[in-house]
Structure 1
């Protein structure tokens, strides 16, 4: 599934131009001002925002500030476009949390490369988190708000890691969010569902317990919330490419 980009500009010609160059690789939504864009953010899982600065009602700086201070959207990378060629304008953009600052007139190739790099970097971080057994969930955070959100969520998951029935409703309630808002937030930050995030947390905990070499595998399966050692083994192999027994043997061979 393609990433979804939101383009915000009060100039219809620029909206059409940017939509045309991005629609070949991405899904595109457009908004004519910051107010309309905020409404779209509440209704869609946006992966990247490109916004002009000079707009009516809510300008680009204010819009960026709104996005980056909102727990639901602060993880979304945002590129500001401007015709202002001053260091102060660039400083203002960085101060409100913009991830990149592109001056008009711009090269379409340069803008597309900026967008692609921002999206690619986030994919690499998410992949690293999922594959690295001892990596903390907060590695996926791109803001202080995201870090606090992931820390609170991970602490709750770790406290209830042995609960077979730990589900999205329970997690959303703990995070003081509605189920849809919570789902969108987790999916947007990690590109995986809350259920998958919990499963990865279970497997990471299992890896740590295997490394301690104090428990049998069926005990570890129970300790991390699996109903059987068989289901635990299948999930472990699917995620890490080896069985828990093979992983334990690999650890022993490294130590010897």
Structure 2
């Protein structure tokens, strides 16, 4: 079975044991986020656009699953997220109501783990194929000058977003994808195409090039730079910096690389 470790599933289920079981089933194939109520789920969806929403119908007051689904389908961005409803209620009326509201599937509890995994993977694969098809058609049908404009627009937006996030704790791939209004897999295809890097590699590259500027300016300490740029530890920052620039940060601060000469044209 295909693994999509760069895809995300949001599980909204108030039963803790069941939510953990679902996470165990899916986490071998996808990144999983969990929530136990509708209000929190909607808050998560404002900051992270998952590739699939697994939504329990019988959530606690005030927002049950149908209420959450209604909010999603009235939002132009969130409405694109595939939704599988889960419930112990198996009446035809309830199932049809969920499907009429825009759910992609309805699965009745208790269900088999293999069935759930296949339904999730099928919906995610379908979404990825549609995204890829749209991208291919866009580049085939669009004149080359406009293709260049599309890439330029992506670069400008992407670099503005990452530049603004470089000193924050939210400088992560899911958050960048959310701000770009695209899935993580789509973001990865674009960064590989334009920068020949994965988003994670681009984040590391941006942090280190920013650190190099700070060290050259000698305005703060190595420790402060490491924590400001969100490295997990000072030692990891030092190892990463030395690998890229051939010197430890302290050595680089004392003897920075010479700036490239500026050639003046007459």
Fold match (TM-score > 0.5): yes
Check conservation: 1:8, 1:37, Cα contact below 8 A: yes
Find the aligned partners of 1:60 and 1:10 in 2 and give their Cα distance: 11
SS state at 2:54 partner: strand
What does 1:1-256 align with in structure 2 at a 5 Å threshold? 1-56=5-60, 57-132=62-137, 133-134=139-140, 161=149, 167-168=156-157, 184=179, 186-188=181-183, 191-192=186-187
Check conservation: 1:129, 1:135, Cα contact below 8 A: no
Check conservation: 1:6, 1:48, Cα contact below 8 A: yes
Check conservation: 1:2, 1:25, Cα contact below 8 A: no
Please report how far the alpha carbon of residue 70 of structure 1 lies from its aligned counterpart in structure 2 after TM superposition.
1.2
Please report how far the alpha carbon of residue 127 of structure 1 lies from its aligned counterpart in structure 2 after TM superposition.
2.2
Bigger CA radius of gyration: 2
How large is the Cα RMSD of the aligned pairs? 3.5
Find the aligned partners of 1:94 and 1:36 in 2 and give their Cα distance: 23
Check conservation: 2:177, 2:184, Cα contact below 8 A: no
Q: Deviations over 1:148-205 (max 9, x none)?
A: xxxxxxxxx96x9499678329x99xxxxxxx89963532398137977xx8xxxxxx
Structure 2: give runs of 5+ residues left out of the alignment.
162-174, 195-266
Find the aligned partners of 2:29 and 2:177 in 1 and give their Cα distance: 28
Check conservation: 1:186, 1:194, Cα contact below 8 A: no
User: How many residues end up aligned between the 2 structures?
Assistant: 172
Check conservation: 2:7, 2:185, Cα contact below 8 A: no
Q: Deviations over 1:18-64 (max 9, x none)?
A: 11111111111110011110111122231111011001121011111
**Pair 117,43 (structure 1): closer, same or farther in 2 beyond 3 Å:** same
Check conservation: 1:82, 1:104, Cα contact below 8 A: yes
SS state at 1:30 partner: strand
**Pair 182,189 (structure 1): closer, same or farther in 2 beyond 3 Å:** closer
Structure 1: give runs of 5+ residues left out of the alignment.
137-156, 173-179, 200-256
Find the aligned partners of 2:75 and 2:44 in 1 and give their Cα distance: 14
Alignment TM-score, normalising by the size of structure 1: 0.57
**Pair 105,125 (structure 1): closer, same or farther in 2 beyond 3 Å:** same
SS state at 2:81 partner: coil
